[in-house]
Amino acid sequence: MNKNPSGMDKRWPVYAAAMTTVLLWGSAFPAIRYSLHVYSPEALMLLRFLFASITLAVIGAVKKIRMPKKRDLPMFAMGGFVGVFLYMLLSKNGAVHIEAGIGSFIVASSPVFVLVLSTLLLREKVKRACWIGVAVSFGGLVIVMLSQTSGLVPDIGVLLFLLATLSASLHSIIQRKITRTYTAIEATTYSIVFATLFMLIYSPALIREIPNSSLSANFVVAYLGVFPAALAYLSWGWALSKAKKTTYVTVFVYLVPLVSSVLAYFWLGETLSFMAILGGVLIIVGMVITNILGKE
């Protein structure tokens, strides 16, 4: 007999929100690859986040979120530049060179980068199992890189995705400080709005390319802005805030590469080499070790 039926009743919305986020994030990689047939990475980035900013502005108005204090504007600007603008610029240019599934495996290693940065920048102490997980994930990254090499020179797409992952990890450190005084909705909204302002430098490219775009491509870009860029981050923040333990939610992020690879296979006809799959599995195994066995 179920001794605590109300416990599961309280947990399933959290798990549903986390899984919704995973599905949306996983769908972003093949959607970006599809859109890059029509738009340049810069124009795609700007158009996507114009949709995202409008969506978050509407949600913010309905929720009546607070305006940021003047002293906190530099922190929001830094988060928007490092964690959104720079990440999107690097990942979208990386997506031009490598397949969506491989890119998603690399980005999914972000928790490992966060662990290292938290230790170095925030002086957090971690258990030995965390470093074992880091070593396993790093080995997986090396294998993924080798699967995309030409001779001894790593593929530029892999390097761009690694830099994108590092920027996303830095953003996690910045967001941790922001969310001490702001809600997840406020932190997400203002960071993305600042990022969109930075992206306005690509307005000439968007103005030049949008007349030649197709309706289907614009629909995909709108989807990227409204769902993976706006609503997914909100659902993720809600799930983290409601979960009894953070681990119960964060383990879901390891499903993103699987979702992305499956969608890319059916949508774009992409395939992964054995080495790329092996490297991706090791990345996920390392992150599970870090996240489960390495918890204080």
**pLDDT in 10s for each residue of the chain, 296 residues:** 445 555 555 678 887 888 898 889 888 878 888 898 899 988 999 999 999 999 999 999 998 899 999 999 999 999 899 888 998 888 878 877 776 667 767 776 666 676 666 666 656 566 777 778 777 877 776 776 666 555 544 568 778 888 888 887 787 778 777 877 888 789 889 989 999 999 999 999 999 999 999 898 999 999 999 999 899 888 877 776 676 655 456 656 666 776 777 777 777 676 667 777 787 788 778 767 766 665 54
Place of tokens 């989807």: 223
* pLDDT computed for residue 295 by the predictor: 53
CB 194 within 8 Å of CB 76: yes
* pTM of the predicted model over 0.85: no
* pLDDT computed for residue 22 by the predictor: 82
* pLDDT computed for residue 56 by the predictor: 93
* pLDDT computed for residue 1 by the predictor: 44
* pLDDT computed for residue 220 by the predictor: 94
Gap between the Cα atoms of 255 and 253, Å rounded: 5
* pLDDT computed for residue 57 by the predictor: 93
* pLDDT computed for residue 46 by the predictor: 95
The SS3 call for residue 150 is strand
* pLDDT computed for residue 129 by the predictor: 73
Contacts of 12 (CB under 8 A, 6+ apart): none
Q: Where are the alpha helices (DSSP H) in the chain?
A: 5-35, 41-63, 73-79, 87-95, 100-107, 110-121, 128-147, 156-178, 184-199, 203-209, 215-226, 232-242, 247-250, 256-268, 274-288
* pLDDT computed for residue 76 by the predictor: 92
